Each structure stands twice: as C-alpha cells, then as structure tokens.
Structure 1
Amino acid sequence: MKRQKRDLTSRAYVRGYRAGVSGKSKDICPATAGESRQHWISGWRQGRSDFWDGYQGISNLHCTPNLP
C-alpha cells in the first residue's frame, strides 16, 4: 500500500482516466506543470476515448474480455 502511494505518476494517470471516462473537461487537471500533468492528461485522453466507445465508468472495465 505504501508503494502505491509513492507512485505519483500512476496515481495521476488513474485520476485523469477517471475524469475522462466520466466526461469531465481536461481543464480540471489539478497539476499545473510537470510529469504529473503529462500523465494526468494521458489518462484523461484514454478515458475520453473509452467514454466515446461506450464505457460508462471504471466498473465496466472489469466486464470486458481480454483479447489477444
């Protein structure tokens, strides 16, 4: 658990993904500059892509099959 809290870049990505899949604007990014902002924006872009593809939230990701 402590290691997860230390990895700020993955936390930024996940939070950006959650914002994107929820349909929120990228203007709400909490980071102003740096690596955290880049990862947040990357997560947001992936989340928006999934949102446009029909995902309605994080819980739907567990139901999708893993295709090779």
Structure 2
Amino acid sequence: MKRQKRDRLERAQSKGYKAGLNGRSMEACPYQQMDARSYWMGGWRDAREDKHSGLYK
C-alpha cells in the first residue's frame, strides 16, 4: 500500500516539475488532496529554481 501511495506522490512531483519548466502558474495545480498538491508544488518550485539558475533555457 505504501509503495503505491509513494508512486502517486512521485508522479505528482514530476508533473509539477514539468509544469514549472513549461512556465505554467502555480494556480494550475490539478490536485485537490493536500499531500499530492504539496508534492506538485514542490516539484513546481524546484523547476522554477532550476530555470532561474540557468539550468534550463
């Protein structure tokens, strides 16, 4: 059970990272559950930091 939950949260973070790289806003988060939403936003923030630091163009 925990493995399945972790995979869902990792997928949320990955989708948030991709959204951040593509320039989508934080309000575009598709998740309503707090745990998945926080993982998505964490991925989004990581992508924005990477993009601003020059890792991606």
> Do Structure 1 and Structure 2 share a fold, with TM-score over 0.5?
yes
Task: Return the TM-score normalized by structure 1.
Answer: 0.68
Could you say which structure has the greater relative contact order, defined with CA pairs below 8 angstroms and 6 or more residues apart?
2
**Higher share of residues assigned helix:** 2
Amino acid at match of 2:24: K
For these two proteins, the number of residue pairs brought into alignment is 52
Q: In the alignment, which residue of structure 1 is the partner of 2:30?
A: 30
CA distance in 1, matches of 2:27, 2:48: 13
Amino acid at match of 1:14: S
Look up the SS of the partner of 2:24 in the other structure: coil
Identity of aligned residues (%): 40
Instruction: Give 1:16 shift.
Output: 0.2
* Structure 1 gap segments, 5+ residues each: 57-68
Instruction: Give 1:33 shift.
Output: 2.8
Amino acid at match of 2:33: A
Q: Would you say the 8 A contact 1:22–1:51 is kept in 2?
A: no
Q: In the alignment, which residue of structure 1 is the partner of 2:42?
A: 42
Alignment RMSD (CA, Å): 1.4
* Structure 2 gap segments, 5+ residues each: none
Give the number of the structure whose alpha-carbon radius of gyration is greater: 1
CA distance in 1, matches of 2:50, 2:23: 10
